[in-house]
Chains A and B, each alone.
Chain A
Amino acid sequence: MLRRIPWWLGGVLMALLLLFTFSIFGAGRPFGASTYVPYFSGILFNLDPEKYPYLKEVHNAGAWEGVMLLGALFGGFLTSVFVTKSFRITIMPTGWKKYKNNSIKSRLVWSFVSGFFLIIGARLAGGCTSGHFLSGMSQTAISSMIFGGVVLVSLIVTGKIFYKSEAQDD
């Protein structure tokens, strides 16, 4: 069995999934994957939606993405165990060791901080890679093109500054 699929097949499948999600036969809405986070924050910290207007705003989209996320976890888990054979418990990405450092503490602290700001950024912009890039640009939305351009620049500038350009040997 094929252990990996090439990028073009992934792109075609992702386009079909997007079209199915948009269609009235599927969900009749765009695909998104960052609204579920504040929705779950509301559940985990037991925040009252009556007191926090944002929770009311994301109530329906958050629930939709929450159920979608359960499917994604399940699909990702089964594929990693049975198909790509990549399932294993690890803390340190190989690329971090190669281009940043060997410290687990450094990786975990940066993970926490970047995870925090990833969601702040996505919610400020009103979407993420899924909602803006995939769904938004497929609708030729100007807002999503602005987001896409800003993210590309910021991503590549950060990549240049934050990581070492050559792999370290140890």
Chain B
Amino acid sequence: MIDRILEMFATVAQEPHGSIFTVFFIGFVFGVVVQYTRVDKFEKIAGFAMLKDTVVPKMLFLAIGLASIGLYYMIEAGYAHYHVKPIMLGGLIIGGTIFGIAMAIMGKCPGTGPISIAEGRIDVLVGAIGGVFGGLVFTVYYDQFKMIMGESLGKTTLVDIFEGNESLVVLVFGIALIVIALVIPLRQELDEADLKQLDE
């Protein structure tokens, strides 16, 4: 197992996607932002599922709105590229449905879960063990899962569809998402146990 963990670092070092330090740094900042905004809390994602907390959708839509505009101009300037995931209807619809159900019950997604474990949540650690078994089953029965996922219908983006008006469509898309983020009423479901900790 040790050799495969070392191989993980070697793979990242060989790949042209940032040095080990850069990749670690990206994760570090992600961990700080998720923890500092407290969106790793059960009350944030499960709270959103119950429509009692809107911090997660507000933050997500704002981030996507800003990033979509920034990314488009960065690509135009040659500083980035699109890496789009294919449209595979079976996978997206069945996978998305299962993912949404699981996320509401777990109260975490695969990105925020580890950060909750880092702040001492044992229930999420048990969930992560479940996740490792999920990864095992998916890997072993990949051929069967591939049949559910279906054929790829291409890697279409809005930018492709509105060829000729690319910058306009990106601006409309980005600004619409930013407006959505602003108009969703702010509701917060707080964890009393956390607030108590702050008073001390």
What is A's interface to B at a CB cutoff of 8 Å? 3-15, 17-31, 33-34, 37-47, 52-55, 59-60, 62-64, 66-80, 83-96, 99, 107-108, 110-144, 146-147, 149-160, 162-163, 165
Contacts and interface: CB of A to CB of B under 8 A. Distances in A.
A143 B84 contact: yes
The 7 closest A-B pairs by CB, nearest first: A71-B27, A159-B49, A154-B100, A75-B31, A124-B95, A115-B130, A11-B62
Contact of A147 (B28, B92, B132, B197): B92
B126 A111 contact: yes
Contact of B84 (A31, A55, A87, A139): A139
B91 A115 contact: no
B34 interface: yes
Given A31-B26, A126-B85, A12 B62 contact: yes
Nearest to A123: B138
A67 B24 contact: yes
A64 B140 CA distance: 22
A11 to B, nearest CB: 3
Interface in B37-78: 37-43, 45-51, 55, 58-68, 70-71, 74
A148 to B, nearest CB: 8
Contact of A7 (B37, B46, B94): B37
Given A12-B62, A43-B5, A130-B109, A72 B115 contact: yes
Interface in B10-37: 11-12, 15-18, 20, 22-37
B138 to A, nearest CB: 5
Contacts of A54: 138-139, 142
A73 B24 contact: no
A122 B95 contact: yes
Contact of A131 (B79, B85, B86, B100): B85
A122 B118 contact: no
B88 interface: yes
B179 interface: no
Contacts of B110: 33-34, 37, 118-119, 122, 128-130
Contacts, number: 519
Interface in B142-182: 142, 145, 148-149, 155-159, 161, 169-170, 173, 177, 181
B92 A150 contact: yes
A72 to B, nearest CB: 4
B183 interface: no
A126 B95 contact: yes
Interface of B: 1, 4-5, 7-9, 11-12, 15-18, 20, 22-43, 45-51, 55, 58-68, 70-71, 74, 79-124, 126-140, 142, 145, 148-149, 155-159, 161, 169-170, 173, 177, 181, 186, 189, 191-194, 197-198
A8 B37 CA distance: 9
Given A33-B110, A38-B135, A139-B83, 12 more contacts: A9-B37, A11-B61, A22-B74, A26-B26, A28-B16, A42-B139, A111-B124, A124-B95, A143-B155, A147-B99, A149-B96, A162-B105
A84 B35 CA distance: 8
A11 B181 contact: yes
Nearest to B44: A95
